[in-house]
Structure 1
Amino acid sequence: MEETTSNSIIQNSNQMLLTRNTLQTITADLVNKPTAASYLYPEKILQFGTGVLLRGLPDYFVHKANQQNLFQGRIVVIKSTSAGATDAFTQQDNLYTLAIKGLEEGKEISSYEINNSISRVLTANQQWKEILKSVENPTLEIVFSNTTEVGIVMSNDLIDDNPPASFPGKLLALLYHRFVHFNGDKDKGLTIVPTELISDNGSKLKKIIFDLALHNKLSTDFQEWLASANDFCNTLVDRIVPGALSPADYTNTTALLGYEDQLMIMAEPFRLWAIETTSERVKQRLSFAAADSNVLLVPAIEKYKEIKLRLLNGTHTLSCAIALLAGFKTVKEAMQNSAFNQFVRLLMNDEIGPSILSHTISATDINNFSSKVIDRFANPHLAHKWEAIALNYSSKMAMRNIPLLEKWYSKTTEAPALFALGFAAYLYFLKSDKTNGQYTRTINGHPIELQDDSAAFVFDAWQAPEHTVVKVLSNADLWGKDLTKYPNFKEAVAQKLELIMHDGAINALKTLEYEK
């Protein structure tokens, strides 16, 4: 997703704008300014996208390494879409402030970093020749991308298009131009590190690039160079980067720092970038990893995907309906309730964690990540709405949580009580009203339009309440298996559902036996 962050309030301010010239006049001790040497580093990275995730995670790591004199390289950015302008980057000499706000080990932190990792921002539709010229740079070694999950798709692009329409089309054209310019030099290939939030992002991008090379009838010499001189890495990124500060927070922050910044963005303290590689060539090129222990160059990223999917995403899903039924609007609001907070902690520690414990995922891995999830959920600077988490609720439950049941029951025959409560709350949340084909759940007078492919099925299941639990649990088409086959699970869900319906969500949480 490409976007620039702009604040209309800037137009009414008398404060100076962040630029390289005004940088020296910024005296606030709260903000870290880039070193003079870091402006002199050559361009080593070609980046597709100007969006906040890229600026808040990969570009953050590059900047951090540059300030430690480790990586010594800057980024030339390609803006691929016509949406948004590059004026702010031009006006600010590509400088932007990253405000890091949140909790670490329960303590609130705030820090501000002026990032100068970006050297240029070029627009593909207007500056394609200059972009082609940029890959003639012998110091170029790496490609970053974040074009959303719809960016890594096959197309019919031709490399002679000006420019090719798709991201893979553009990347292939640039790789081919580099191949021709350096006469197939095997040392001039690139390491491609996508950050799109799809599984096996590097492998999928690689296949598309090779298919496009065939579609363009490119030489076998190029295809051999593509395979041997270039590396495509699967990655996992994890950091919440909401983007622009709220108007009130922006006003307070600029007053505190003493300058305006049209590109200022916020990120949570937590950060993780797991990059799958066994190549020494890749490790040498990605030397910025040495600046932060949260950049992981590992032989396989499956462990980190599993931990994130189950402990972060899975906990969100299993606690979402309880929070909504209790009347909470945001995650941070719910975490301020002691009963809900305790439920989340025990859900991870007593059920999800033990389920995923394996020869590759240790108890230390689980405990460390779980404690960070608590900080992330409780972050007072994030307003993550439960209604947004509830979108496509059934498919999220099927993907994130149902596989945990198999893992749980492989270790015990006792029904997971906390999981059962979360599932019962999901069932009750989807007890909706139907009007003109739209399913709506009303809580405390507030209507929530359900956007769930299974809303109609669950609605029908509620027409005979005495059979609702069994009908939903036994739907193998929805869950991939008949969940009534798990010992005592349907009884546990039915009991928790009755408890929620009779006593309410918060009281149901309070009746849980927390000490085992």
Structure 2
Amino acid sequence: MKTLNRRDFPGAQYPERIIQFGEGNFLRAFVDWQIDLLNEHTDLNSGVVVVRPIETSFPPSLSTQDGLYTTIIRGLNEKGEAVSDARLIRSVNREISVYSEYDEFLKLAHNPEMRFVFSNTTEAGISYHAGDKFDDAPAVSYPAKLTRLLFERFSHFNGALDKGWIIIPCELIDYNGDALRELVLRYAQEWALPEAFIQWLDQANSFCSTLVDRIVTGYPRDEVAKLEEELGYHDGFLDTAEHFYLFVIQGPKSLATELRLDKYPLNVLIVDDIKPYKERKVAILNGAHTALVPVAFQAGLDTVGEAMNDAEICAFVEKAIYEEIIPVLDLPRDELESFASAVTGRFRNPYIKHQLLSIALNGMTKFRTRILPQLLAGQKANGTLPARLTFALAALIAFYRGERNGETYPVQDDAHWLERYQQLWSQHRDRVIGTQELVAIVLAEKDHWEQDLTQVPGLVEQVANDLDAILEKGMREAVRPLC
């Protein structure tokens, strides 16, 4: 069986206009996949050079396959049908290592056609590294490497204003573009680079903050033989991902034309502020996960897919989203409902086995950041507590008993909560405290909740009633009236 390469698998090749820091699965099934579609359907005509930003020889370089690899995108489409689509990606030309090919790295700045810089160097990638120097070959941190490359471009083109770059980080931190820009400016000042360079950074370059959303499951180890048989070639860089994707970019409106999004519509939004989209994702996607997990797991289910195929649990989650979360969010209702519909479809994806226990990690913090704002907003708007979000809090407290049908399961959270719950549930079993007292102690933890939740009218009583129902009747019976 042949391995992918451009000689045996000839096809389009595009001039290099995009630098990408990061060789991982996510960018290959997200950014490079979208660039490939735009290259095919429009005159974007842009090839990608991947820069490996860390010193490692694993995985091997994508250049061993001349930049070619296959994405397999699968899940439920907009009509709820299971789909699986294999695509040979031709948008990547080559990969270089900034450690072993530093001169080649700097030469990227000399190419007049270079226009975009994408990156995903993990959440820790956009950070300051104190020892980084201008003459390091290379510096350790990604922002320092980028500063050096930008200075190379500024110098090579004598500060020409039409040679700046559009820089689009995909790292999962808030306002990633602003954070990256601040660090680049910090290095420029620390290294005492000319004032003209700092002005050029500001005038000629755009740092765009983003929100990225797609579950990328990567190399399908268990299915490789079968998939390669179907494809008819060997591919060491096979990359699998879900059908859904969303790319929100906070940047100039002209970006839509530059990326040819006006000629081939992808699920990419160019916006003035990513904040409402971030809030939407946290509240609907992450919030639904957090409400679902303790309820579904204690109802005897193990994966998100099983939960969504269970009529009662699915109804509980959907009613929580449509009746209690969406009404208090600040975006047009039709946009929110369309996003929610995509979310529930993603939860049902038959190709992804998402274990409930793995999502349960740090559940107390997740409840505070993902559900509590909507619970409190609903109470404020209507004068009554949202029943399902309140029930989810009771289910979460019950979850920390660490026992289901007589069997123990691992609960993962910080040491404070693990010790606290062990103590509280032990006292409850010994009848030292009642359910209402247990709930009041949890809700009074100001350091965690950033307020005293026992002051929210009716919250202690409602959570205690729900918790008693769970303890006395079991999760199935207790949740049924809310389904």
Coarse TM-score class (shorter-chain normalised): over 0.9
The residue type equivalent to 1:224 in the other structure is Q
Structure 2 match to 1:480: 450
1:451 aligns with 2:413: yes
The residue type equivalent to 1:138 in the other structure is P
1:22 aligns with 2:15: no
1:135 aligns with 2:105: no
TM-score if structure 2 supplies the norm length? 0.94
Q: Percent identity?
A: 35
Structure 1 match to 2:430: none
Q: Which of 344, 353, 356 is the equivalent residue of 2:317?
A: 344
1:255 aligns with 2:225: no
Q: 1:456 to 1:353 in 2, by over 3 A?
A: same
1:367 aligns with 2:337: yes
1:219 aligns with 2:194: yes
State the shift of 1:88 in Å: 5.2
State the shift of 1:487 in Å: 2.9
Q: How does 1:252-331 map to 2 (within 5 A)?
A: 252-278=226-252, 280=254, 282-288=255-261, 290-331=263-304
Determine helix, strand or coil for the equivalent of 1:126: coil
Determine helix, strand or coil for the equivalent of 1:199: coil
Q: Which of 189, 211, 215 is the equivalent residue of 2:164?
A: 189
* Kept after mapping to 2: 8 A contact 1:44/1:73: yes
Deviations 1:196-250 (A, max 9, x none): 0010100011001101111101110111111111110110000000101141x32
TM-score if structure 1 supplies the norm length? 0.88
Q: 1:489 to 1:86 in 2, by over 3 A?
A: closer
In 2, distance between residues paired with 1:338 and 1:185?
Answer: 62
Moved more, 441-450 or 203-212: 441-450
Determine helix, strand or coil for the equivalent of 1:113: strand
Large movers: runs of 4+ above 4 Å: 441-444
Count of residues in correspondence between the two structures: 473
The residue type equivalent to 2:15 in the other structure is P
* Kept after mapping to 1: 8 A contact 2:42/2:264: no
Q: 1:61 to 1:343 in 2, by over 3 A?
A: same
* Kept after mapping to 2: 8 A contact 1:335/1:378: yes
Determine helix, strand or coil for the equivalent of 2:211: strand
Q: Which of 87, 90, 105 is the equivalent residue of 1:116?
A: 90
In 2, distance between residues paired with 1:139 and 1:214?
Answer: 28
1:97 aligns with 2:70: yes
Determine helix, strand or coil for the equivalent of 2:99: helix
The residue type equivalent to 1:371 in the other structure is S
**In angstroms, what is the RMSD of aligned CA positions?**
1.8
Q: 1:457 to 1:353 in 2, by over 3 A?
A: same
Deviations 1:351-401 (A, max 9, x none): 111121x3xx12211211111111111101111111221111111111111
State the shift of 1:118 in Å: 0.7
State the shift of 1:97 in Å: 0.6
Q: 1:290 to 1:347 in 2, by over 3 A?
A: farther
In 2, distance between residues paired with 1:343 and 1:310?
Answer: 16
Deviations 1:131-165 (A, max 9, x none): 10111000001100001110111123112101111
In 2, distance between residues paired with 1:503 and 1:290?
Answer: 57
In 1, distance between residues paired with 2:370 and 2:263?
Answer: 32
* Kept after mapping to 2: 8 A contact 1:70/1:288: no
* Kept after mapping to 1: 8 A contact 2:305/2:347: yes
In 1, distance between residues paired with 2:151 and 2:108?
Answer: 13
1:125 aligns with 2:95: no
Q: Which runs of 5+ in 2 are unaligned?
A: 428-432
Q: Which of 361, 368, 373 is the equivalent residue of 1:391?
A: 361
